[in-house]
Chain A
């Protein structure tokens, strides 16, 4: 645990130095950090608890819309809106999980696609609330302690704080009773029950925490975009991107999702700039290579080898 927090501390220092070193490359860094946070949060449910969700864009949208509507319609400061969004996301996850965690296999996954779609329909059709298909625009934001919330550097710091928070939470979980319950439920529900674990409760907790954290990141994303369109925010493609980021990086590992974000989102942006049309092809090939040769994801394979090496060493000594 100390080792992981040391790495995280170094990452924070590097993050704090970044805007000074690359002041013109903030947007891509914000994307990477938001995806790192989203994928790490997704992974609490998808990797640690083994329940694949393809609906997490719904929670991104929820967070972003709460901030935008709260600000433009109710004059609500974004931090309160984010808190409300987290509660709403957790409540939605709870309700949805109660219905679907009885289902096995792909049914939960399919149902998550439906949740995000329903939210998208609401965002598009309930124009009185959401601005409809044209979206909502954040025109003004408060200035807490004189901080300009429209500034890119501030967005960067918020995204950094978000991703660091999610990783810190996962580091703590990984060593805790809850973390072992998550893994047990993922590996074998019967065996988990024999260990006194109620799988539905564990999955519900994971879903709620995962949803709330993603909504928090969604709120930051909303501020960053300042103009919200339902087609982008609740889109299945975003859900898939979040899931793929974690899967490619390594499901159920502390650093996998962040590594995935660095690789997929970072390189994705670079490819887009360099290859224009071919970028999706390269993106697809990258995913294929990882799935074929590193089925546990990049960090998942690294970690597995480390475990085996450690064991091999311990038997020699």
Chain B
């Protein structure tokens, strides 16, 4: 299988705080990497360093063998990364369809093709019947799905999902887990930051545990969740 993503020695500092401290990881096509850790562990920061939204002070990132360490976020998107935002960021004044049209224009020719792709993405996430609704009016679960549709509309090869399960009620959570599992079968590589253990255990092939910016454990979901250091990081210091 093709190596989708490789990160080596990623370090991000905010003033005196080292939010991410020499973290390395690799990811293959069709694989799901779970990123867990207590609040403030540096998950979102690592996620942003990988997608280019926060500059990495040290380290190297390659995307399908291509060095993207110095590339701004929009170039990484064009190179095959798609992402969601932990706090959803819809284009508020636009309708649901228009929101997805923006990314849909990236890999299509002309507005008819873009529109067809956007509608297809909305259909995939189950928002097709809300295409004409102002994005501002969506509830949380639907805003999440809109984030997903936007991330998918750039036709990514690697998808970065930042806590898309948080705050969902049990049926919505089940649906979302099923949806992400479906994406994997399409061959997408996925990096997933998640607090919901059920989702991590059901979906991840591989899990990385961060605490205070450092990687303290990695392995299969089963191995990681029974690791003493991990249990301590979650229960001990919080």
Interface residues of A (CB under 8 A from B): 175-177, 180-181, 183-184, 186-188, 190-199, 252, 304, 307-308, 310-311, 314-315
Contacts and interface: CB of A to CB of B under 8 A. Distances in A.
B150 A191 contact: yes
29 contacts: A175-B111, A180-B105, A186-B93, A188-B89, A190-B53, A190-B73, A191-B85, A191-B89, A191-B91, A193-B53, A193-B72, A193-B73, A193-B77, A194-B73, A194-B82, A194-B85, A194-B89, A194-B103, A194-B154, A195-B77, A195-B103, A195-B106, A195-B154, A197-B74, A199-B74, A304-B134, A307-B95, A308-B134, A315-B129
Nearest to B89: A191
Interface in B73-105: 73-74, 77-78, 82-83, 85, 89-95, 98, 101-103, 105
A310 B154 contact: no
A187 B93 contact: yes
Contacts of B102: 180-181, 183-184, 192, 195, 197
B151 interface: yes
Contact of A314 (B85, B114, B132): B132
A308 B72 CA distance: 37
A127 B93 CA distance: 48
Contacts of A187: 91-94
Contact of A307 (B83, B114, B129, B132): B132
Interface string B137-155: 0000000000000110110
Contacts of A177: 105, 111, 114
B222 interface: no
Chain B, interface residues (CB within 8 Å), range: 20 to 34
Given A187-B94, A191-B91, 9 more contacts: A177-B111, A180-B98, A183-B93, A186-B93, A195-B153, A196-B103, A198-B72, A199-B74, A252-B93
Contact of A188 (B72, B91, B95, B106): B91
A202 to B, nearest CB: 10
A194 B105 contact: no
**Chain B interface SS verdict (over half):** mixed
A308 B93 CA distance: 12
A190 B53 CA distance: 8
Contacts of A311: 95, 132-134
Interface string B141-175: 00000000011011000000000000000000000
Interchain residue pairs A-B with the least CB separation, the first 10: A195-B103, A187-B91, A196-B77, A196-B106, A191-B89, A177-B105, A193-B73, A184-B102, A193-B74, A311-B132
A181 B98 CA distance: 11
A176 B132 contact: no
Contacts of A193: 53, 72-74, 77
B198 to A, nearest CB: 27
B72 A195 contact: no
Nearest to A188: B89
Contacts of B103: 194-196
A75 B72 CA distance: 49
A183 B51 CA distance: 22
Nearest to B73: A193
A292 B114 CA distance: 38
Contacts of B114: 177
A184 to B, nearest CB: 4
Which has the most chain B C-beta neighbours within 10 Å: A176, A187, A199, A310?
A187
Contacts of B154: 194-196
B74 A190 contact: no
A194 B111 contact: no
A302 to B, nearest CB: 15
A194 B134 contact: no
Contacts of A184: 91, 102
A45 B134 CA distance: 23
B85 A190 contact: yes
Contact of B74 (A183, A198, A252, A314): A198
Which has the most chain B C-beta neighbours within 10 Å: A176, A195, A307?
A195
Contacts of A310: 132
A180 B101 contact: yes
A190 B91 CA distance: 10
Nearest to A314: B132
Contacts of A198: 72, 74
